Amino acid sequence: MKWDWNAVSDFMPMFWHGLLVTLEALALGAVLAFVLGLVWAMMQRSEHAAVRWPVMAVTEFVRNTPLLVQLFFLFYVLPEWGLTLSALTTGVIGLGLHYSTYTAEVYRAGIDGVPVGQWEAATALSLPRARTWFAVILPQAIRRVVPALGNYVVAMLKDTPMIFVIGVLEMLGEARQYSAQTFHTVEPITIVGIAFIVISYPASLLLRVLERRLVR
């Protein structure tokens, strides 16, 4: 085994940059997934079948097809349609859209868990629909699904390396670039691999604690 510590220290500046990009993509992707997922979940509760069905079909399709292919689709097809976005933006949209179909299911479980009496009380008080959602139902639903949402953020973290295929220089992208320049492959890939474990292990421990706290 040839391990070159010089290559390690040589790679580190690029690694830190890559880490920053990974975290940026993760944060933005997670926000998008949280918001879009909520929109899907609420639309799936619509009283109009014309709203429910398309949303169900699309989320089902997106969830059951590979993120990698979706990234290629966004990267190659959007410009053909006249929409040119940066690689990072495309990656964030891909991650956020893909994971929104999972968070939608999480929200849905949370919303279903709110007793029907809460909806009835809101009706009895004539609360407007928006107020019912945002003041009564969602505060109760979301509290219980925070740990589950968190677990999807960790899952999304582990999918972020995929966006290197469309040219985003996150950790894996930086590692590949370093390899291409210096022909050192063992060190950068190993470092990036360890970085993922170092980030995701404490994160999942934290979520287990959170789960015990929030989900009674």
Partner 1 sequence: MSADSSPSKETVNPAVDGSELIRFDKVTKRFGGNTVLDSLDFTVSSGKHVTLIGPSGSGKTTILRLLMTLIKPDEGTIKVGGEYLTHEDRGGSLVPAGEKHVREVRKHIGMVFQQFNLFPNMKVMRNITEAPMHVLGLSRDEAEERARELLDLVDLTEHADKYPTQLSGGQQQRVAIARALAMRPQVLLLDEVTSALDPELVAGVLDVLRDIAHSTDITMLCVTHEMNFARDISDDVLMFDAGRVIESGSPEKIFSEPDHERTRQFLSAVL
Partner 2 sequence: MSEISWGLWKLLLNGIWITVQLTVYSAALAAVVAFAIGLARTHRLWIVRFVSGAYFEIFRGTSALILMFWIFFVLPIGFGWQLVPMWAAVLALGLSYGAYGSEIVRGAVKAVAPAQREAGIALSFSPAQQLRKIILPQAWPGMVPPFNNLLIEMLKGSALVSIMGVGDITFGASLVRNATGQSAPVYTIILVMYFVLAFVLTRGMRVVERHAKAGVGQAPQKREGLRARMNGGQVNDFARSGATPGGGAAQ
Where do contacts with partner 2 occur on this chain (CB under 8 A)?
1-3, 56, 60-61, 63-70, 72-73, 76-77, 80-81, 102, 105-106, 109-110, 112-113, 141, 144-145, 147-148, 151-152, 154-155, 157-162, 165, 172, 175, 179, 185-186, 189-190, 192-193, 196-197, 200-201, 204, 207-208, 211, 215
Q: Which does 121 bind (CB under 5 to 8 A by kind): partner 2, partner 1, none?
A: partner 1
Question: Given the complex with partner 1, which of 124 and 197 has the nearer CB atom?
Answer: 124
Among 66, 139, 167, 202, binds partner 1 (CB under 8 A): 139
Regarding 51 and contact with partner 1 (CB under 8 A), the answer is no
First to last CA, the chain: 50
User: What would the x/- binding string for partner 1 be over residues 143 to 162, using CB under 8 A?
Assistant: x-------------------
Interface residues with partner 1 (CB under 8 A) are: 115, 117-118, 120-121, 123-128, 131, 135-136, 139-140, 143
